[in-house]
Structure 1
Amino acid sequence: MNVLAIDTSNYALGIALMNEEGVIGEYITNMKKNHSIRVMPAIEKLLFDCEMKPADLDKIVVAKGPGSYTGVRIGVTIAKTLAWTLSIPLVGISSLEVLAAGVGRYFNGCVSPLFDARRGQIYTGLYQYQNGKLESRINDQLILSKNWADELSQYNEKILFIGSDIKLHQDVLQQVLGEKAILAAITEHNPRPSELALLGYDKPGEDIHSFVPNYIRLAEAEAKWLEAQKELK
């Protein structure tokens, strides 16, 4: 089975091709550039380099958020379009879960992947490998980094923090958690699209038409619009 994985949920753009034998190809960049004009050429280039055609694909796996509102929307829209056009299954995976998967299997403890959500807030959750499978111990959420650190201080174990936005919150995390806060190396901060493909490889397909991103919160512009509508009533 040939699986195409797509992750545009944050600054990193990741595309991967995988089958039962392993990773066929993988493309990752981490630049503040518009994913909307880069993702399809990246998919086309990877397919070409791997000597495959869209018709050879059997499943699409996409990072469904949380993360950048625009980035998540771009990835999900393209994934849904490809899955519908090719009549193949579509699977969505938490963007935070993808980030945790890359290092979690090698860390004896919990992993807290995080993305900055501005104003001292982060998108995060708590994951841990148990019996060879990545499990969620605390659901993905939007929370102040200080409050998250206070919550994790109740755990009597070291916690690995991973994500390119860690530098924005590491002072708060380390102040509260001290030596229990372990920071991943800079080479580990980009989510691997091959991990995304692996996470979704055996999962059943979802209904394409009802599939929606997991933003966790509304985009700021949308939230302001809804608030304005309430005031008009």
Structure 2
Amino acid sequence: MKVLSIDTSNNVLGIGLLDGNMVLGEYISNIKKNHSVRVMPAIQTLMEECNVKPDELSKIVVAEGPGSYTGVRIGVTIAKTMAWTLKIPLSGVSSLQVAAASAGRYFNGFLAPFFDARRGQIYTGLYKFENKRLEVLKDDRLVMSADWGKTLNNLDSNILFMSNDLALHEEVLKQELGSKAIFAEITELNPRPAELGLLGRDKEAVDLHTFVPNYIRLAEAETNWLKAQQNNK
């Protein structure tokens, strides 16, 4: 079973190829460049290097958000288009789950990945590995990082934080959690597309017609448009 995984939900662009229990290849970059012009060439290059043809794919797995509104939309749109064209199933996986699995598979404690959401807010959730399975303890949400620290302070074990936005929220989390707050190394912060593929490999397929990204909140432009429509009534 060959699985193609696609993650464009944040600055990190990740493409992975799995064949059964083997990782054939991964492409990862963490640079601020337009995913829309880079993702298809990255997919093509990786598949050519791994000698995998499109009609050999059995499934596509995509990071469904939260994250960058534009980035999430690009990845989901490409994944849906490919799944529809190739007539193969598609599964979506939380972008935060991918981050948690990439850094915390062997951490004996709680996992709290997050992405910056501006104005002191973060997209985050709470996870833990139990018997090699990633368990969701608190669903993905949008919250102030200080409030999140207060919430997690009630836990009875250390919490591992992983994010390419650590520098923006590390001090706040330290103030609320003290020594309970553990921060992943820089080499563990880029979500691995192979983990994405593994998380979604056996997950139930979505309905291509109704599947949409998990933005958690509306994009700022969409929010402003809705407010304008209400004001015009």
TM-score bracket relative to the smaller structure: over 0.9
> 5+ unaligned residues in a row in structure 1: which ranges?
none
Per the alignment, residue 230 of structure 1 pairs with 230
Q: Tell me the CA shift for residue 21 of structure 1.
A: 3.4
| Cα distance in 1, alignment partners of residues 199 and 150 from structure 2 | 30
> 5+ unaligned residues in a row in structure 2: which ranges?
none
Checking the alignment, whether the CA contact within 8 Å between 2:103 and 2:189 is kept in structure 1 is no
Per the alignment, residue 52 of structure 2 pairs with 52
Checking the alignment, whether the CA contact within 8 Å between 1:4 and 1:197 is kept in structure 2 is yes
Q: Equivalent pairs: percent with the same residue? A: 63
Q: Tell me the CA shift for residue 102 of structure 1.
A: 1.4
Per the alignment, residue 69 of structure 2 pairs with 69
Q: How many residues in Structure 1 have an aligned counterpart in Structure 2?
A: 233
Per the alignment, residue 32 of structure 1 pairs with 32
Per the alignment, residue 155 of structure 2 pairs with 155
CA RMSD of aligned residues (A): 0.6
Checking the alignment, whether the CA contact within 8 Å between 1:104 and 1:134 is kept in structure 2 is no
One-letter amino acid of the structure 2 residue matched with residue 186 of structure 1: I
One-letter amino acid of the structure 1 residue matched with residue 45 of structure 2: K
Per the alignment, residue 216 of structure 1 pairs with 216
Per the alignment, residue 121 of structure 1 pairs with 121
User: How far does the alpha carbon of each residue in 1:121-143 deviate from its partner, in whole angstroms, 9 at most, with x for none?
Assistant: 00000000112210011110000
**Does 2:106 correspond to 1:106?**
yes
| Cα distance in 2, alignment partners of residues 82 and 37 from structure 1 | 16
User: How far does the alpha carbon of each residue in 1:125-180 deviate from its partner, in whole angstroms, 9 at most, with x for none?
Assistant: 00001122100111100000000001011112110000110110000000110000
| Cα distance in 2, alignment partners of residues 39 and 203 from structure 1 | 23
Per the alignment, residue 195 of structure 2 pairs with 195
* Secondary structure in 2 matching 1:97: helix
* Secondary structure in 1 matching 2:4: strand
* Secondary structure in 2 matching 1:217: coil
Checking the alignment, whether the CA contact within 8 Å between 1:4 and 1:18 is kept in structure 2 is yes
**Does 2:20 correspond to 1:20?**
yes
Checking the alignment, whether the CA contact within 8 Å between 1:90 and 1:206 is kept in structure 2 is yes
* Secondary structure in 2 matching 1:206: coil
